[in-house]
Amino acid sequence: MKGSTYRRCYCRDPETGKPLGTACPKRSRRKHGTYSIRQELPSRHDGTRRSFNRAGYDTLKAAQADLDHIRALLNIPDSDDPEGTELISEMLEEIADSKAPLPEVEETRRRLGSGQELIGRLTVGEWLDLWLESKRIRKSGVTRYETDIRVHLKPHLGSRRLDRLRVSHLAEMFTSISEANAEILEQNAQRRAAVDELAKVPWKGAKNRARRKAMRAAIDAMPPFRRTTGAATRQRIRGTLRAALNDAMAQQIITFNPAAHVEMDPVRKPKALVWTDERVAKWEATGEKPSPVMVWTPEQPGAFLDHVAEDRLYAMWHLIALRGLRRGEACGQMWSETDLARHSLTVTAQLVQDGWDIEESDPKTDSGFRVVALDDDTIRVLKRHRKRQRAAREAWASGWVDTGLVFTQEDGSWLHPGKITDRFERLVASSGLPPVRLHDLRHGAATLMLAAGVDVKVVSETLGHSDTRITRDIYQSVFPEVAKDAAEAAAGLVPLQRKTKAKEAEKRRKKKAKKAKSPNAKKTRSKIKNATAHASLTHEP
């Protein structure tokens, strides 16, 4: 198709304002005016002609380079691809009208081949919105993604072009988050200090009241207490972005995922610790938990279950403590999936929170669909619970809400998982036992099974884990007595000379002590004692 470059003068007559054109006295000068280009484009469907026109080039070389660029773009589609030719022509026509820069040839070839829009530059924010809209996962998962996108990703990265997102941009975002954390901690400390100072001011007296009023006004003017964005949350933010960019790569919108290469601070998951006597004593003295994840000893859940024996939801606490169900799984367990005759229940659903709303959902993972064996005592507990629930159903009559769930509110309606957690914490506090979270009962159930010698594969399946490594890494807290037995067994395998001598000496000592306690030894000691006494009486000085 025809195309050309030409030089044009844009001088105007000072009186009329009309272009001088060829009448310009400066036109004969070599560098006067600017260069323009014109390239014919394929005609429209209705047969009308169109072209690409652009002016303002300082040199002929620059004008010719753009003309060659336009021709290279027009040559991207094959000769037998009228649709591709039309798309390229529409793109060039819009670029000419908007005076936008020409796109790269290879990038345009890739976009055309993958069926993407040729015009426009998709931003990170626009893609995240499109990606989130396309997700077909449970509501709680979408809510988590939406929070990461709204609070962190769009404010820091939303305006950047998706195809130009780099690792350095992500590093800058996480640096900004860390700096914001430091500011939040400082502001929280200032507000806490002001609140503590206010608490020290007496209520009585006009001066004190005026002072308290001024201090309250100053506190109200401070930023409210806020939570920092921890290492685990930052990892989750990166995970959200990485998933979104992986989908962009799958659609050939981008060819590189910077979220897969940004360096992050490692997240150290808290290790589960057992509430030993020493740790309990320290907690009672300081009020500090040794770890965010604490596990009761075998005696402590027994004491707790005894304490809550008359609680309406005793069967739920019993089931979580001994069989390790998740909170949502226990709240969503159906009677139809609880086979007391065969000593088992099948986990097929759970109740989850979305904000403060509740919705029924599938188990957390595919492995969450599982059959859990029940012991005889748990069967007795569930039978007693079912009997009480039937009595409550008759008492409520038409007001009973028939959900078919094992654990419900007084009227048969759904339990709220958040309220269950609050109830558990109050019961633990009233029991006088060291504090654990409701989820820590699940840790305890896993640890009890492992300490009892149950195979880790069985424990993993009971808990609904997809891999036994998860069970080992998270739940294998060893009780002190189990650890001691293991230590003794290991030490006994090492044949040390001093250990042999010590054992022989210990045997001799025990043999001697045993001999000293024998009846004959007692008689001999008695005779010696009597003879000594008689000699002392008959002895003359």
Question: What DSSP line would sit under 30-93, residue for residue?
Answer: TT-SEEEEEEEEPPPTTS--EEEEEEEESSHHHHHHHHHHHHHHHTSS-TT-HHHHHHHHHHHH
The region, left, alpha or beta by phi > 0 then psi within -120 to 50, assigned to residue 324 is left
Show the domains of the chain with their CATH numbers.
3-114 (no CATH), 124-260 (1.10.150.130), 273-486 (1.10.443.10), 499-538 (no CATH)
Using alpha carbons, select from 339, 341, 345 the residue that is nearest to residue 322. Answer: 345
Interior CA angle at 328 toward 326 and 332, to 5°? 115
User: What is the β-pairing status of strands 338-339 and 294-295?
Assistant: unpaired
Q: Are 66 and 54 in contact (CB under 8 A)?
A: yes
Residue 445 DSSP SS3: helix
DSSP state for residue 102 in the 8-state scheme: P
65: Cβ contacts below 8 Å, ≥ 6 apart: none
CB atoms under 10 Å from CB of 406, counted, come to 22
The rounded distance, in Å, linking the Cα atoms of 142 and 129 is 12
3-state helix, strand, coil in the chain (%, to 5): 60, 10, 35
Which residue reads 């901690």 in tokens? 185
Quote the tokens at residue 11. 């001088």
User: What is the β-pairing status of strands 34-41 and 3-8?
Assistant: antiparallel
C-alpha separations of 539 from 328, 525, 528 in Å: 91, 21, 16
Residues listed for the chain: 541
- Strands, DSSP E only, in 275-407? 294-295, 338-339, 344-347, 350-354, 357-361, 370-373
Dmax (CA) for the chain in angstroms is 162
DSSP state for residue 406 in the 8-state scheme: S
Q: What is the H or E stretch that residue 50 is in? A: strand 50-57
Q: What is the pLDDT of residue 535?
A: 47
Interior CA angle at 242 toward 237 and 243, to 5°? 100
CB atoms under 10 Å from CB of 139, counted, come to 14
The rounded distance, in Å, linking the Cα atoms of 174 and 155 is 12
The rounded distance, in Å, linking the Cα atoms of 445 and 318 is 10
Angle between helices 417-431 and 299-307 (to 10 degrees): 100
The rounded distance, in Å, linking the Cα atoms of 13 and 11 is 7
Using alpha carbons, select from 335, 337, 302, 338 the residue that is nearest to residue 321. Answer: 302
Q: Are 165 and 124 in contact (CB under 8 A)?
A: yes
Quote the tokens at residue 96. 């000419």
Q: Are 219 and 212 in contact (CB under 8 A)?
A: no
Q: Are 351 and 414 in contact (CB under 8 A)?
A: yes
Interior CA angle at 339 toward 335 and 340, to 5°? 105
Q: What is the pLDDT of residue 475?
A: 61
The pLDDT tens digits for 402-432 are 999 999 999 999 999 999 999 999 999 999 9
Quote the tokens at residue 164. 């130009």
Residues of the chain with pLDDT under 70: 1, 21-22, 27-30, 119-120, 473-488, 490-503, 515-541
Quote the tokens at residue 413. 């309606």
- Count CA within 13 A, CB hemisphere, residue 51: 11
Q: Are 303 and 433 in contact (CB under 8 A)?
A: yes
Q: Are 37 and 63 in contact (CB under 8 A)?
A: yes
Helix and strand element counts for the chain (H, E)? 21, 10
Angle between helices 105-114 and 60-74 (to 10 degrees): 20
pTM metric for this prediction: 0.63
The rounded distance, in Å, linking the Cα atoms of 477 and 479 is 7
